[in-house]
Amino acid sequence: QKEVEQNSGPLSVPEGAIASLNCTYSDRGSQSFFWYRQYSGKSPELIMSIYSNGDKEDGRFTAQLNKASQYVSLLIRDSQPSDSATYLCAGESGSARQLTFGSGTQLTVLP
Amino acid sequence: DAGVIQSPRHEVTEMGQEVTLRCKPISGHNSLFWYRQTMMRGLELLIYFNNNVPIDDSGMPEDRFSAKMPNASFSTLKIQPSEPRDSAVYFCASSLGAVNTGELFFGEGSRLTVL
């Protein structure tokens, strides 16, 4: 079992809709979680971090963490075609608490 | 700031050849990471340095891979001999402080093709 699992998708939503991306993790000791966005042919870039149970909002993005269920999600409201990218969920794990990435979910926002 | 700088951006080589990938982290960052990304396996951590010291190299596939960080501003990842299954995009990333308290800044990647 991978330490961080994502529904690999692909996921397509119409412009203006809410896109919901999900992630589960296996290391109960993980405390920090991150969502990275990667455009095709580019490098990953951090868009959200979350450390506590509950929701964290930043503009159109909301990250949700449920440590009891070992579940992390990212909601993108009012999706735009420019949001089309692969979204990588990451959590810190291992003895050195290094960042482990999920396989990513490819999101396409249709105009 | 110029960001994380990697070279070469693209490398095409033949099986058995030595490949050296280079990385200059962001000035002042004390953690450096080498990741490999493929369609099949996603983004995998190969090795993690903190203050130029290798902390975790459990992701290095085998003895053909080696990484060094001789100083705070330079790191190399070497593959010798290279094999077709090493074809991937290799990312270098750096961070200020421990990874679980900050973000990783990725370079643009080195796309390696081994024929």
CB pair distance less than 8 Å for B43 and A101: yes
Kindly list the residues from chain A whose CB atom is less than 8 angstroms away from the CB atom of residue B109. Answer: 43
- For residue A45, pLDDT beyond 80: yes
Instruction: Decide: B89 and B106 in contact? Cβ < 8 Å.
Output: no
pLDDT in tens, A59-69: 999 999 999 99
What pLDDT shows up at residue A106?
Answer: 95
What pLDDT shows up at residue B99?
Answer: 63
Taking the C-alpha atoms of residue A110 and residue B19, their distance in angstroms, rounded to an integer, is 41
- Short-list A105, A82, A86, A79, CA closest to A18: A79
Rounded to 10 degrees, what is the CA torsion of A24, B38, B84, B35? -80
pLDDT in tens, A53-104: 999 999 999 999 999 999 999 999 999 999 999 999 999 877 777 888 999 9
Q: What is the mean pLDDT of each run of 10 residues along chain B (115 residues)?
A: 92 97 96 94 92 91 94 96 97 83 88 97
CB pair distance less than 8 Å for A42 and B108: yes
What pLDDT shows up at residue B102?
Answer: 61
Q: How far is CA A63 from CA A19, A53, A109, in A?
A: 12, 10, 19
What pLDDT shows up at residue B101?
Answer: 61
